[in-house]
Each structure stands twice: as structure tokens, then as C-alpha cells.
Structure 1
Amino acid sequence: MSDDAHPSQLAHPDRLLPAEPALRDVARRLYDATKDLPIISPHSHVPPAWLVDDEPFPDPASLLIVPDHYVLRLLHANGADLADLGRGPDGPVELDEAAARKAWRILCENYHLFRGTPVKYWFDTTFADVFGITAAPSAATADALYDQIAEALTTPAFRPRALFDRFGIEVLATTDDPLDDLAAHRALAEDESFTGRVVPTFRPDRFLELGRPDWPGLARSLGEVADIDTGSYAGYVAAIEARRRYFKDHGAVSSDHSHLDLGTEPLSETEGSRIYAAALRGEASTDESVAFRRHMMSETARMATEDGLVMTLHPGVRRDHDPDNLAAHGHDVGSDIPVSVEVTDSLRPLLGRYGNHPNLHLVLFTIDETVYSREVAPLAGFYRSFYAGVPWWFIDAPEAIRRFRGAVTETAGFYRTSGFIDDTRAFLSIPTRHDMSRRLDAAYLAELVATHRLTEEEAAATALDLVTTIPKQVFKL
């Protein structure tokens, strides 16, 4: 039967829990113990200005469709024009009501395309739990659902700060450019009426890629913001260190890095200086640029041992695979495509120097599932600084999360993993995604109880730690 025939099933109370009754009873008890605990979100893409300004969200499409690359990519694959989904050459565009309703109808008319995907699960749960919606999206219900959500967004209960409190978010980390003055974070920290904790994350990727055509200008801008001459390699390193300190002074707990590979082979200072000078002149070769970036990843680990910022890595993505869509609609529309990664040898230079340093926490996320049991889990099971990041991005999904637990736990246990990361631009999906993780972990732990590998008491303690103790410890919160 169609989804429309069972509107009450948008968010079934036993969703993602085991089907076998006795196992499900254990999972229910484990989930009940964690479902209402505060959310720790150490990596997201929520703009902090939303919480500073606390303005009503403009319309359902701008909130739930336009910023979410998960939604955009599958609609695009099935023929939707990204321009009709609120994307222009420079990213999201402001929608009038007619354009917003058009985008919303495209989603509702094509909602069946998301069956079996985590996107449908997130939407169903958000619709039911956040808006009290019982009717499934379809061509017939599109306008009524739009009106219901639009009306809710005009009320004080649906402003960003009210939702932040309602979702029970204890810590929210944003992702920020090294040139950012962090004024929004400073405003939140100084606002006594805002009781949440929102921290920046240092994201220097574009400043480490010397092959970018705009890199010389970026290096100059970095120097200007840090008030350090970046005309030399030594000045460049000092400027990065200064910006890391600035971020930490404004609450940052981590730096985040996404490059094509995980290479970390260091260069001599002489060679680093030579390549840096060539890059400023626009003369560095591709191989030299890659070698310099790999060197800077080792330098980043060295900096982390000194300033204490957690180092998160998520390699192996070919950004903007579709050049036509990049030109027409900008970044983050869903055309970033995974590639395979090699971990063990690539990280050996870094881990050989800093892998057991007491002040380094390095968290590796990947969307190449083939490396979980072969490389990631054994590294996490040995090096003191190394943690296995949970599934995210393309594999932030029920089956992938189950595969991760099966692949990693027997080698590294639960306590060498990161805790759940929502990595979202869709603010309303934060509680949905964390709830999904808690349900899946309850189901996995229930199986360990049922097969007498854990007592229920041990499973309950682990479920609690996965939500609270582990993310706080890994991210030094």
C-alpha cells in the first residue's frame, strides 16, 4: 500500500528497532534511557547568525530543501532543475512565495523517490515530531503541508533559539573560514539571554591547497587578518597558528580538514619554503602543491599538540564532480562524489610523530567503507590519539551505521569511536539524526545482550556513554 494509506506511520514509535519482539523489548529500554538526553553536535554547518538574529525562517522550501544537498542531489538525478529548487550561480537564492511553493511541490510530487533513503526517514520524523504532521507528502497534500509549516514558522515557538532549546542542544559546533571574525559567535557568547553553547570550527582547506588559482590572494588575506607578513613560509605558518589561537579564544575545540587523500609526509623547512615561494609566484607544479598540502597536514598535527584543538579528517571526495552544475548553481548541490582512500601508509608519517601524543585527538571520518575493518579500526585500536569517526555524509544512514558498528567494534570497541556527528546544513534535522543514531545503537547493543556478549546493565552504560561521555571526551568538551 502507498505511504498515503498509512499516514500515522510517518514516525512509528519502534522505527529502526529490531523486529523480533524479545530483542525489541531490550532495545526499547536502552533507547528510552537515552532518547531525551541533550544533543552534543561537534560538527555541523548551521549558520550561527541564525541564532544571533533569531529571525523567523522565511518559508518551508528555504528551510527544508534549498540548503540540503541530500535532497537536491536525488531530485536532480530524477530530472528536477536545481534553479527551481532555489539554487543560483552563487548558491541559495531568496525565494518569493510562488518560487518557494514551486520548489515545495517538486519535493512532494517526487517524495516516492526517497523511499529507502535516510532522507525520507529524516523528513518523516521531522514532519511528525517537529510539526505534528500526519499526512504524507504527495502532489495532493503539497499545498496543505506548505501552509501548515509556513504558519508554524511565523510563531515564536519555531524561531531558531526556541527550536535550539526545544531540541535539547547542549553544544553546537559550526564550520568556519579562517578569515571569519567570528562576530556571531562572540555575540552569542556575550548574550546572557542565550544559554546554549555554540562554538566555531577552524576549516583551513582552501589555504592549504597551493594549486588553487586564487591561493596567492588567500595567503595575502590570511596575513592581513592575522596581522602577520605571509610573504614567507615562516610567516604563513605563523599566521595559521595565530588564527587557530583566535578561534580557540572564541570557543573552538577542533579543526576540520577535507582533502582528496590522507598523505602526511613532511617536507624539510628548506623545501617547504621553496615550494611556498614558487606558489606565491604562481609557479608551483601540481606535484609540489600536493606535497606541500601533505606536509601541512603533519604541521597541523604538530600545531594540535601545542594548542589542543582536535583534528578531524574526512578525505576521499571529488568535489564538484559536475562542472556544468558548479558553474550554474555553485557548491554543495550534491555533486561531490566519493573516491577510495588509503589510510595506513598515508597516516604513518603523522602517527609516527604524534600518534601517541597526549594532547592530540585525531578523528578520521570516511565514506569509503572498505577501510573500516581493514585500516581504521586497527589504527583506532592501537594509537592513543586516533579515533574512528562514525558514518556521515553519504553513509549517514541506518544500514551504513549498522555496518560501521559491525566492522569497527570487535577491533576498537565503542570507546575509540567519535560519538555521533550530524554534519548537517538542515537545522531541523539535527534532533532527527541524533535520534536515529540512538535507536540504531540501542538495536546493536540489544543484539549483544541477546547473544550474551553484554549484560543489559553494560549495554545501558554503553548507550549512555555513546551519547554523552564519548563525544565530550573525544572533542574535549
Structure 2
Amino acid sequence: MLYEKIRTLPIVSPHGHTVPEWFSENRRFEDPAELLIVPDHYVFRMLYSQGVPLEDLGIGVDPAHRDPRAIFRHLAARWHLFLGTPSRGWLEHTLREVFGIDDPLGLDTADAIYDRIDAALARPEFRPVALLERFGIEVLATTDAALDDLVPHAAFAAGGHGTRLVPTFRPDAVLDPRAAGWGTSMARLGEITGEDCTTLSGWRAALAARRAHFIAHGATATDHAIERLETEWLGDTTAQGLLDACLSGRADEAEKRRLYNHMLIEMAQMSVEDGLVMQLHAGSMRGTNRPLTERFGPDKGADIPLAQDWVRGADALLNRVGNNPAAAIIAFTLDESVYSRELAPMAGHWPALRIGPPWWFHDSPNGIRRYLDAVVETAGYWNLAGFNDDTRALMSIPARHDMWRRAVAAHLEDQVAAGAFGMQDAEQVAEWLAVGAARAGYRL
């Protein structure tokens, strides 16, 4: 069985959102609610959709005033809501494989299961660093703001651990004039780097300096969260004029967008120069529940997929760097309709482009099957970037990779049964998709 051949391979997690301080400080997780519910928008968005206030789930509440047992009971009482969702599979895998709990979760078992998890968290083998080793995580990437000092990464690296903990350069706050507090962030960028960010050349130099800082701490990739992918190459004179307008507050929305669209290409060119892989996560409209966003901040479950035009949107960027063998761009989309129509033909042509795995809402057994069926015939397997778990929840990392490996094995066995290729080829592809593609795609 193909799955058995790849089941125990090391985990390469090249894109995610775990907290680096977890590993540098190696403190115990506070409680089961803080571990499994509070940081996981996959979980609390479903509960919110069924009328559970976010405050009741500990969101926006000072940790000292949370009732973690009550939060866990909210999940247990509504466990049936997760039937058919990957979240249920990930949580059941965590309970079974990490904590050895086979009892079904429900209101009648909530307290007993809570107590078993809480007791386990007090033991050394459930500290974050021990879990990295237990899960077989070879590489774990976090996502970090461009102005972060990366002290936790340096502290962890100094400990000589078996897992590589690497940052990922996320420059949205200093790259997109539409970002909240962009002007303040730009001023801080200039202070940190000693560059004049009121000039295009100084802005470029400051961004390059921060990228170098991340590379020195092990980074191999950048990440860009894009609502609607558009790129446009501007001459320096035009770009400087737009930068002046944005900094002075005179720019309108269209002018801000044009400057950002240009700067995405600047980032792609820097990737050619310094080797960082460029990730484009396109197609999420963030914070669509505006009252909720205003009250609790971003990442509260109201981000919704948008249709994308990858062919036109990436045209200027790819015609600038797409033929350069030193460029590496990984495309993620929430618009499944573009996989076979646009991204697979594009990745099957442009040397710089790889297709990222099913992202976010489509990170599921069926989503993975749809993805592979849509892209492989045109892009092949070697133009894919493998898998990343894209999670804030440490305990779900092995569950998500296991889900991917099961789905890959099922897909490849179907291919063998259909006579597309033999089992020897299938075994090679299975290992590639489990670990090899991520190592290669992210230059790890």
C-alpha cells in the first residue's frame, strides 16, 4: 500500500503560523482550550456560525479571565457540527494519536477528556520542543512580519535542536499602502535599516536589508497575502510619484493599488537576487464581517474566497522574471476554478512557477483529490510544491500531513489502476509529493 511507504517520512512544514516563542521558551501549553480552540479559526468559525459568541470561546478575552473548561464544553456540546469537515478529522487524529483518547467527544465526556489532555500537557513530553521531535518535524516555518527582530528563532537555533525552525518574510505591512498603519510601519522600516524610505531607492534598500536579516536567520521564502492579484511594472519616475502621494495621504485607492502591484514585481526581482522563494496567496477577502473585525481584529473566520484572474494578474510579473531559472514563485489560490483553466497551464510553461497545494477552505481530502485531478494532466507532478499545513495549531500538523499522504496515495493508486503508470513510478511520485517537492520548492 502506497500510504504505508510514505506514512512515517519526516514532516516538512514550509509554511505555517505557529508561534516561534512556543519553541524558544518551551513552556507548557496552558490548557486544552488554549491548545485546540482559541488559536484555530477553523474551529471557532464553525461554532460562531451556529450562534456561539466569540467571547464564550475565549476570543478577545484576557487569558486570566477565560474559563477554559467552559470553552471546551462548547466544542464538545456541538461536536456534531463538524461532521463532514476536515477539522473533525484533524481533532480526532490529535485526540487519538497524540493523547491516546479513543472515547467519542460529547458533552457527557467533555470533562473527562479535558482532564486527560490537561494532565498530559503537564508532562515534559508534551512541551513544544518535545512535540516537534515526536511528530518527526524536519523543518517548521513560521510567518513573520518584516519588522520582527526574530529573536525567538535565534534562541531556538542556539539550542541545537533536530528541527529547523525558520522564519518567513511577510512584508505586507511595509509593502502595501492600503495596509493599516502603513505610514507608521514605513517610518519604522527606515529607522531599523537606516534607509530613507521616502525614496524608491531607499525603500528598495530597506526591504532588501530586512530580507537579508531573515535569510541570516534561516528564511528561505517570502509570503504575500493578496486579495486580488494584479501586477504592473512602472518606471521609477511613476513609482516615485505614487510613493510620494501615498506617504503624503493624497493617493486614492487606485493609486495605492498600482504602487503595490508594482512592488510585487520588485519583490520578485529581489527573490531572483537573494534566492528567497516568493509565495503568492491570492484570493481571500479579509475581514468581511466588519463589526467582528473592528471588535476582535483580523483572522476571526470571516475571510472569504474571491474569484481570481491569474493569467492577466500575474502577466507583468511573469514577463519580468518568469523565464529566469533563479526565480521561484509558488502560487496559492482559493479559486478552484483556475486550477485546470489557468494555473496548471501556466505552471506547465513558466520555469519560475510552481503550484501550491490546496489552501485553506480546500485543505481537505476531497479538496486534495479535486486539486490533483485538475492540475496533474497539464502541469505534471514536478511542477507542484508538495504540501504545507498552513496552520496555527501545532497539534494538527501531523494530522494534516497524514491527510495529504492518504489522499496522495489514493490518487496514485487510482492512476496505477487506470494504467497511467506503474507502481514503481507511483512510489517515486508519492515520496516526491510527501516531502521532496516541499524541500525542492522551498529550497530547504
TM range (shorter): over 0.9
Stretches of structure 1 lacking an aligned partner (at least 5 in a row): 1-28
In 2, the alpha carbon distance for the partners of 1:304 and 1:288 equals 25
Q: Match for residue 177 of structure 1?
A: 145
Q: Deviations over 1:188-229 (max 9, x none)?
A: 11113x221010000011222213452211110111111212
| Match among 247, 257, 270 for residue 224 of structure 2 | 257
User: Is 2:86–2:364's contact at 8 Å kept on the other side of the alignment?
Assistant: yes
Q: Which residue of 2 aligns with 1:125?
A: 93
Residue 124 of structure 2 aligns with which residue?
156
**Contact 1:83-1:329 within 8 A present in 2 as well:** no
Residue aligned with 1:143, SS: helix
Counterpart-to-counterpart distance in 2, 1:395 and 1:344? 21
1:83 to 47, 52, 55: 55
Contact 2:32–2:72 (8 Å) recurs in 1: yes
Matches within 5 A, 1:423-462: 423-462=390-429
Check 1:309–1:226 CA distance in 2 against 1; reply closer, same or farther (3 A cut).
same
* Contact 1:86 1:103 (8 Å CA) reproduced: yes
SS of the residue corresponding to residue 311 of structure 1 reads strand
State the AA in 2 paired with 1:414. Y
Matched, 1:60 2:27: no
Alignment partner of 1:143 is 2:115:
no
Shift of 1:328: 2.0
Q: How far apart in 1 are the matches of 2:64 and 2:360? A: 27
1:113 aligned residue: 81
Q: What TM-score do you get using the length of structure 1 for normalisation?
A: 0.92
Alpha-carbon displacement from aligned partner over 1:248-271 (angstroms, at most 9, x marks no partner) = 111100000011111111111001
Whole-angstrom CA distance in 2 between matches of 1:231 and 1:383:
35
Secondary structure of 2:139's counterpart equals strand
Matches within 5 A, 1:194-213: 194-212=161-179
CA distance in structure 2 between the aligned counterparts of 1:204 and 1:468, rounded to whole angstroms: 27
Q: Distance in 1 between matches of 2:404 and 2:198?
A: 47
Greater shift, 230-239 or 365-374, is seen at: 230-239
For 2:195, what is the secondary structure of its paired residue? coil
Q: Kindly tell me: are residues 288 and 84 of structure 1, through their superposed partners in 2, closer, same or farther at Cα, counting changes over 3 Å?
A: same
Q: What is the RMSD of the two structures over their aligned residues, measured on CA atoms?
A: 1.1
2:263 paired with 1:296: yes
Q: CA deviation at 1:137?
A: 1.0
CA distance in 2, matches of 1:47, 1:296: 28
Further displaced range: 392-401 or 104-113 = 392-401
Out of 273, 277, 282, the position equivalent to 1:315 is 282
1:347 corresponds to:
314
Runs of 4+ in 1 over 3 A off after TM superposition: none
Work out the CA distance in 1 between the residues paired with 2:6 and 2:283.
33
Alignment partner of 2:3 out of 31, 38, 44: 31
Q: How far, CA to CA, are the matches of 2:96 and 2:203 in structure 1?
A: 50
Match of 2:70 in 1: 102
SS at match of 1:376: helix
Give 1:442's aligned amino acid.
A
* Structure 1 pair 212–447 and aligned structure 2 pair: CA distance change class (3 A): closer
Distance 1:263 1:304 in 2: 18
C-alpha distance in structure 1 between counterparts of 2:430 and 2:37, whole Å: 32
Deviations 1:367-397 (A, max 9, x none): 1100000000000101111001110211111
* Alignment partner of 2:41 out of 55, 60, 69: 69
Determine if contact 2:196/2:203 at 8 Å carries over to the other structure: yes
Instruction: Give the letter aligned to residue 77 of structure 1.
Output: S
Q: Matches of 2:125 and 2:324 in 1, distance apart?
A: 46
> What SS does the aligned partner of 1:333 have?
coil
Q: Is the 8 A contact 1:210 1:284 kept in 2?
A: no
Residue identity in the other structure for 2:378: T
SS of equivalent residue, structure 1 residue 407: helix
Shift of 1:93: 3.8
The reply on whether 1:287 has 2:254 as its aligned counterpart is yes
- Secondary structure at 2:143 match in 1: coil
Partner SS, residue 154 of structure 2: helix
Contact 2:11–2:398 (Cα < 8 Å) also in 1: yes
Q: Find the aligned partners of 1:438 and 1:140 in 2 and give their Cα distance.
A: 34
2:173–2:180 CA contact under 8 A, matched in 1 = no
Matching residue's letter, 2:122: T
Q: Assess if the C-alpha contact under 8 Å between 1:216 and 1:280 holds in 2.
A: yes
TM-score, normalised by the number of residues in structure 2: 0.98
CA distance in 2, matches of 1:312, 1:282: 29
Q: Is the 8 A contact 1:372 1:404 kept in 2?
A: yes
Preserved CA contact (<8 Å) 1:216 1:282 = no
Looking at structure 2, the residues matched to 212 and 169 of structure 1 have their Cα atoms a distance apart, in angstroms, of: 33
Counterpart of 2:325 in structure 1 is: 358
Q: Which whole-Å CA distance do the structure 2 matches of 1:396 and 1:420 have between them? A: 10
Identity of aligned residues (%): 44
CA contact (8 A) 2:198 2:243 kept: no
